[in-house]
């Protein structure tokens, strides 16, 4: 009896170890929640920013080598997040993506702006204004502060 229990336990553990986790559907669902589609607005410069609408897109080189000079919520329903960014490069198309992780604080919403430079090794500064449609974020009424990286959204 004890032996058969051990065999069953071992079989169960082996089965668990070789079975793929069931996260695939969860990933899609979470991606729908976390990856926000967006648009770009030209700011005295050709639109070198292409905003990736692929929900499964993941930057290979997550960089913080850019500067946020402003970030504001605009529109009647405060559905538009407009941010001005400055980054190094000038020769390649850069991508920006807005990420909303699982909210930890009740009154603070932390958002992340992720930058991918496509290995741009040029040494100019580029300034762009990026506009995100944040209507899908469904901002909670009790959210008092919105942070974009370390920049407080106004």
Partner 1 sequence: MILHLHRMKNLFLSIFFVGSFYVNYAQLQIISGSAVAPPNYEWMAGLSYSYDPYDQFCGGALIAPDWIATAAHCMEGETVSGIKIFFNAYYLSQPVTGYFTADIDTFYIHENFNNTTYDNDIALIHLRIPVTAVPPIRIARTAETELVDSGKVQKVIGWGKLKKFAQGGSDTLMEAEVPIVAQSICNTPNSYDGEITNNMLCAGFMAGGSDACQGDSGGPLFSVDSNGNEVLTGIVSWGNGCGDKNFPGIYTKIQNYLPWIEDFTGKLSKINSIEANNTKVYFSNNVLNVSSKSLLQKIEIADATGRIVEQFQSFDSNNIQVPFHHANGMYFAKIFSNYLSQTTKVFVHQ
> How far apart are the C-alpha atoms of 14 and 23, rounded to whole Å?
19
Alpha-carbon gap, residue 4 to 6, rounded angstroms: 5
Both tokens of residue 4?
A: 């058969």
Which one, 20 or 76, has the nearer CB to partner 1?
Answer: 20
Q: Is 44 in the site for partner 1 (CB under 8 A)?
A: yes
The encoded tokens of residue 138 equal: 């469904």
The binder of partner 1 chosen from 7, 39, 53, 65 (CB under 8 A)? 65
| 127 lies in the binding site for partner 1 (CB under 8 A) | yes
| Cα 27 from Cα 42, distance rounded (Å) | 33
Q: Considering only residues 101, 105, 106, 152, which one is a binding residue for partner 1 as defined by CB under 8 A?
A: 101
Beta-bridge partner residues of 98: 113
Choose between 1 and 102: whose C-beta lies nearer to partner 1: 102
Residue 147, interface with partner 1 (CB under 8 A)? no
Q: Which is nearer to partner 1, 9 or 23 (CB)?
A: 23
């Amino acid at each position: 009896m004890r032996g058969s229990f051990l065999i069953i336990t071992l079989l169960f553990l082996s089965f668990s170890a070789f079975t793929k986790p069931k996260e695939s559907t969860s990933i899609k669902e979470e991606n729908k929640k976390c990856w926000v589609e967006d648009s770009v607005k030209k700011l005295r410069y050709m639109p070198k920013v292409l905003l990736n609408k692929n929900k499964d897109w993941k930057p290979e080189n997550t960089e913080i080598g850019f500067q946020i000079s402003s970030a504001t919520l605009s529109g009647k329903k405060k559905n538009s997040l407009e941010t001005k960014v400055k980054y190094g490069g000038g020769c390649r198309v850069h991508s920006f993506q807005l990420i909303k992780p699982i909210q930890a604080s009740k009154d603070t919403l932390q958002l992340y702006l992720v930058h991918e430079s496509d290995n741009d090794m040029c040494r100019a500064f580029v300034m762009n204004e990026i506009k995100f449609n944040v209507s899908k974020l469904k901002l909670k009424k009790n959210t008092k502060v919105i942070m974009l990286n370390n920049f407080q959204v106004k």
